[in-house]
Structure 1
């Protein structure tokens, strides 16, 4: 072996060693430093409350109100209340001029007296006709007068009897008229049908009321101690609403204060607003201080499902998983390794989801990965630090 051949073989050996060292360095970089650049975004499993709600808009109305009208015609003589007044049941609210009703009652009473007098006179005629009939029938039986005389007496008696019965019927009608006119006279005093607050007045003093053409409204009384919230729920959500579900709402004047109630009723008839179908869901709320007013706007939350003191993770960690489903999530363990873990989802909303199986409080759930920049490289145009 000459010297040139020895140098050639030594060069090949050194090149092989260099390639092995280079390959080992690249492997180390990729397997060690490369992996160290991947970081995980995680959240801790914690306890809290979660609820699934249907959000709706609505308005407030009195739980009960009555439109107080007039049942007789005439001029509104006096109005005893004003808007905002508190009234009790049977309290005098207004008076209609009683002149027309009083005159009608006087005329009806006079008619009754006239008919009564006529009937008494007809009673006397009936008694006389009855006696004449008895006398003629007696004489006919003894052939002292012709039978036609008895027929004439019988016809007179029947006529008197019919007229007597007619007058009796007219008297009953007159008595009914008196009762009606007496009631109309009583209707000139308008009393409160319920306790509540006068919320509106439609007829003012001096206006003429015609009860024969329409049902005139004088004022409205409402019970404001309890308010009914009318929530407009879309047809996409209404099938999830049930009577008895918890519901709360806020008003514009107190957006931080929640007021609670329970669903009382779902009205079957829909409302069409801007080509969208809504159903009215009703619930009641106490209003002892009368802070809530008629027609206030409310933002309403109907609680479909809820869990308190539950294990929670962000909804972003479960994707589109539905309530009650089983999925797998990634758990970052204490040694830095990632483990796939099967879990079961409970109540969820747009922010958080309940975990009923598979996780413990304090565990870290991976919600994403962060690719860190290589600290050995500088951004273009920037110098490395000293």
Structure 2
């Protein structure tokens, strides 16, 4: 019977295989642990940067001339001559139109004739009065000497009183006639229509040869405006009205030049909304729906002045207006959502450190425009602040042998 002996080489190979399997298992476990290691928290961050910030009340408005008038005729008649056209510059007192003055000249002649007639009557009565006074004095002396009768004396006295009353009436008629003459002279002057101010003709309403009637209202002949300075009438909500004040800086853009900023100055804010001009508007609002209050928005007109060299800005343009409440340049800025209030009402931010951790830091803030906020102290340019905390992660699975 043969004896079999196990080969040492076969035994060594088997042990090596087992060691390799064990090492591979350990490596697999370590790799699994590494791959399933919880990730670092993910923050939404923003850098502290240098920039400009502006806080403003935003509104819209309409452009208008700082002064604009309708130049009309104060007398009726045919427009005999129109001396200006659209775009012409005129000065105060310059003749812009003439109305046929023949009716007014005739009326003036008639009034002057009546005045002359009354003056002639006055001279005649004054002569009669002088004669009556002499006769009265003579009758009174003769009566005292019993050289005249009582009847003759009374007749002289009555004649004198009558002439004095007639002269008093003539004086009143004389004043009325003089007033009529003065009025007719003014009416005659009204046939020459003049510019009431310096400005530019922006519209010609009545043409040469057209007949105008001023019986009920003065008909407009031309429209005149000062365009060297424009006024913006911007509506400001009652929620913002206490934040704006006269003298405040502002700027605006127009649709044709949205990238160009025009500087303006807030001249005044009207004390009442436009609706107050309507009768009982406040009473109607206060009693609507029986609730005693109204949900209608209330707006006040803010008037802003802006220079207009070259007449680049036009009447009735729409303006997108920003009334500046505060501004700063080359200052530290961060997003407004990065700032939180502490229990003691102080401003605080979370600064992300180089090792990935966060550090609470107190800051002093300045101007805010609801997007960015100015940092006056507590941060440096280039630092990173967090805008939100990371969401909590669920526990990762772990492989076990």
Asked if Structure 1 and Structure 2 have the same fold, meaning a TM-score greater than 0.5 normalized by the shorter chain, the answer is yes
Number of residues paired by the alignment?
A: 346
Q: Residue 285 of structure 1 aligns with which residue?
A: 306
Is structure 2 residue 367 aligned with structure 1 residue 364? no
Following superposition, the deviation at residue 271 of structure 1 comes to 3.7
Instruction: Choose from 256, 281, 294 the match for 2:315.
Output: 294
Cα distance change of structure 1 residues 365 and 179 upon mapping to structure 2, 3 Å threshold:
same
1:271–1:277 Cα contact (<8 Å) kept = no
Instruction: Choose from 324, 332, 342 the match for 1:303.
Output: 324
Q: Residue 137 of structure 1 aligns with which residue?
A: 140
CA deviation map 1:14-68 (0-9, x unaligned):
xxxxxxx9xx979x869x942x432333222122211111111111000011211
CA deviation map 1:77-125 (0-9, x unaligned):
2211122222122211001110111001100111111111111111111
Once residues 271 and 175 of structure 1 are traced to their aligned partners in structure 2, the CA distance between those partners, rounded to angstroms, is 46
Once residues 124 and 91 of structure 2 are traced to their aligned partners in structure 1, the CA distance between those partners, rounded to angstroms, is 52
SS in 2 for 1:178: helix
Report which stretch shifted further, 70-79 or 58-67.
70-79
Consecutive unaligned residues in structure 1, runs of 5 or more: 1-20, 378-386
Q: Residue 242 of structure 2 aligns with which residue?
A: 239
SS in 1 for 2:184: helix
Q: Residue 84 of structure 1 aligns with which residue?
A: 87
Within 5 Å, give how 1:189-208 maps onto structure 2: 189-208=192-211
Q: Residue 179 of structure 1 aligns with which residue?
A: 182
SS in 2 for 1:172: helix
Instruction: Choose from 333, 336, 348 the match for 1:312.
Output: 333
Consecutive unaligned residues in structure 2, runs of 5 or more: 1-25, 276-294
Once residues 346 and 325 of structure 2 are traced to their aligned partners in structure 1, the CA distance between those partners, rounded to angstroms, is 21
SS in 1 for 2:216: coil
Report which stretch shifted further, 297-306 or 326-335.
326-335
Following superposition, the deviation at residue 221 of structure 1 comes to 0.5
CA deviation map 1:160-179 (0-9, x unaligned):
11112222222222122111
Q: Residue 59 of structure 1 aligns with which residue?
A: 62
Within 5 Å, give how 1:118-129 maps onto structure 2: 118-129=121-132
Following superposition, the deviation at residue 258 of structure 1 comes to 0.3
SS in 2 for 1:39: coil
Q: Residue 284 of structure 2 aligns with which residue?
A: none
Is structure 2 residue 352 aligned with structure 1 residue 332? yes
Q: Residue 9 of structure 2 aligns with which residue?
A: none
Once residues 360 and 148 of structure 1 are traced to their aligned partners in structure 2, the CA distance between those partners, rounded to angstroms, is 122
Once residues 58 and 37 of structure 1 are traced to their aligned partners in structure 2, the CA distance between those partners, rounded to angstroms, is 52
Following superposition, the deviation at residue 341 of structure 1 comes to 0.7
Once residues 128 and 63 of structure 2 are traced to their aligned partners in structure 1, the CA distance between those partners, rounded to angstroms, is 72
1:326–1:345 Cα contact (<8 Å) kept = no
Is structure 2 residue 99 aligned with structure 1 residue 96? yes
Choose between structure 1 and 2: higher strand proportion: 1
Q: Residue 149 of structure 1 aligns with which residue?
A: 152
Is structure 2 residue 50 aligned with structure 1 residue 47? yes
Once residues 166 and 299 of structure 2 are traced to their aligned partners in structure 1, the CA distance between those partners, rounded to angstroms, is 67
Question: What TM-score do the two structures reach when normalised by structure 1?
Answer: 0.83
Once residues 215 and 170 of structure 2 are traced to their aligned partners in structure 1, the CA distance between those partners, rounded to angstroms, is 29
Is structure 2 residue 252 aligned with structure 1 residue 249? yes
SS in 2 for 1:82: coil
Runs of 4+ in 1 over 6 A off after TM superposition: none
Within 5 Å, give how 1:12-51 maps onto structure 2: 33-34=37-38, 36-51=39-54
